[in-house]
Amino acid sequence: MATIDVLKSPTASPDDMSGLKLLSDHGYTAADLLAVIAKTEGNGCVNDFSRTLAAASWASVLPSDAVSVFSGGTEGVLAPHVCLVVSTSEATCPGAHAPGGALVAAVGRTGPVRHLDLGRARQATAVAEVVSELCLQLGLTSAEVHLVLVKCPLLTSDQVTECEFEGGEPVTRDTYSSMARSRAASALGVAMALGECSSAGAEAALRGELEVWSSVASVSSGAELEDCKVLVVGSSPSAEGPLRAAHTVMRDALDSDAVLALLRRVEAEGGEVVQVLAKAEADPSGSIRGRRHTMLTDSDLPSTRHARAAVGGLLAGLVGDSAIYVSGGAEHQGPPGGGPVTVLYRLGARRESDGDG
């Protein structure tokens, strides 16, 4: 049974495992975990060891087929936290049981991404295959998918050198850029699987010749893994439970209208926001609504840190909660300069034993 429950627990540090206590407070155990989705407090870039530390901490308690997505970077107001996705059933998941439409989820992973394949069509294809399989497994149509979260590798200096030693040419020699290239390929894989673009379109997009994007992909890259991990979340007509989701796309980093509209939909249903997951990026044109931004010319601060801080500040202010998932670098995830936003919400009353005290 793929129905899920979602718990959110603030963390005092990347290796804070108090989320396990929250699990047990709700009658779950680590064995029920399908995924851990977290914001850790590193720079979110190549040398972000907060992700590695968190991953190492959770590795020992996660079921072997569960996935973890540790996204670094809690710039500005953003609060480090973990979001625990557990497999559940009607019996264990309390709250209002609206007939149908509850959240279901499934996870999978590609094989290891060869260094030479990173950021290229093979990576996109590998991700697409996993996404397709998971949708099939969940019985979801593309329209029923609200979020496809992917965690994928990057290239370190050693790996770049290794590629070249073997006579190959990596997609980029710049380690920070490799994060963007990996996100791009993964996002296009999601788009392919959901019918948002064709395989040829994805390849053209990778060559920079076409602008296509997924409206539900959310991809984060890191040095702490070698394959791509995938989490698909959707609303299943046949699943019962109080958890719901809605998503939209911010057309740029100022698009409060899209977010407010989304939040009004949730409110209209009597829903209470459990988690917000969003992607943000510096508009590649160098300006937003005709005004110059400086994220791409600031050599002191990577643009992904700028983008997380700004969009995180907007979203946290709008939902009144800073423990949300905002990830930087939205290549082919929403339109250029914008990004997808998914809200997970709960119908019915707030549960008392929430760990956020």
Instruction: For residue 178, report the phi and psi dihedrals to the nearest 5 degrees.
Output: -60, -30
In the set 9, 57, 220, 327, the catalytic residue is: 220
Q: Cα 42–13–247 angle (5° rounding)?
A: 65
Q: Does 139 bind a second copy (CB under 8 A)?
A: no
Does residue 5 touch a second copy according to CB under 8 A?
A: no
Stretch that binds a second copy, among 88-96, 188-196, 225-233, 316-324 (CB under 8 A): 316-324
Number of other residues whose CB lies within 10 A of the CB of residue 147 = 24
d(CA 161, CA 167): 10
Q: Going edge to edge, which strands form the sheet with 33-40?
A: 4-10, 81-87, 33-40, 67-72
Q: Smallest distance from the beta carbon of 144 to a second copy, in angstroms?
A: 29
- Quick one: 43 or 327, whose CB is closer to a second copy? 43
* Residue (221 or 236) nearer to a second copy, CB: 221
Give the residue with the Cβ less far from a second copy, 97 or 265.
Answer: 265
Number of residues engaging a second copy in binding (CB under 8 A): 79
- 46/124 with CB nearer a second copy: 46
Taking the complex as a whole, the smallest distance from the CB of residue 200 to a second copy amounts, in Å, to: 21
Q: Site map for a second copy, 19-58, x if CB under 8 A? A: ----------------------xxx-xxxxxx-xx--xx-
> Applying CB under 8 A, which part among 63-71, 93-101, 191-199, 310-318 lies near a second copy?
310-318
Instruction: List binders of a second copy among 147-206 (CB under 8 A).
Output: 156-158, 160-161, 173-177
Residues 290-309 within binding reach of a second copy (CB under 8 A): 290-302, 305-307, 309
Nearer to a second copy, 231 or 311 (CB): 311
Catalytic residue among 151, 182, 235, 236: 151
DSSP assigned state of 78: -
DSSP per position, 101-133: -EEEEEEEEEEEPPTTTTTSHHHHHHHHHHHHH
Is residue 285 annotated as part of the catalytic site, yes or no? no
312 scored as a contact of a second copy (CB under 8 A)? yes
What's the CA gap between 300 and 311, in Å, rounded?
19
Q: Which string of b and e fits 326-349 if b means at least 16 CB within 10 Å? A: bbbbbbbbbbbbbbbbbbbbbbee
DSSP 153-187: E---HHHHHHHHHTT---S-S-HHHHHHHHHHHHH
317 is a contact residue toward a second copy (CB under 8 A): yes
Considering only residues 60 to 79 of the shown chain, the ones binding a second copy according to CB under 8 A are: 74-79
**DSSP letter for each residue of 231-270:** EEEEEETT--SSEEEEEEEESSTT-HHHHHHHHHHHHHTT
Could you tell me the two tokens for 139? 């019985």
Contacts of 58 (CB under 8 A, 6+ apart): 17, 36, 68
Nearer to a second copy, 25 or 240 (CB): 25
Residues 204-233 that bind a second copy (CB under 8 A): 223
Task: Specify the residue, 11 or 88, whose C-beta has the smaller distance to a second copy.
Answer: 11
Q: Which 233-262 positions form the footprint of a second copy (CB under 8 A)?
A: 253-256, 259
Binding mask 259-288 for a second copy (x = CB under 8 A): x------------------------xxxxx
Within the chain, what is the greatest distance between any pair of CA atoms? 60
Answer yes or no: 21 catalytic: no
**Would you name the residues annotated as active-site residues?**
151, 220
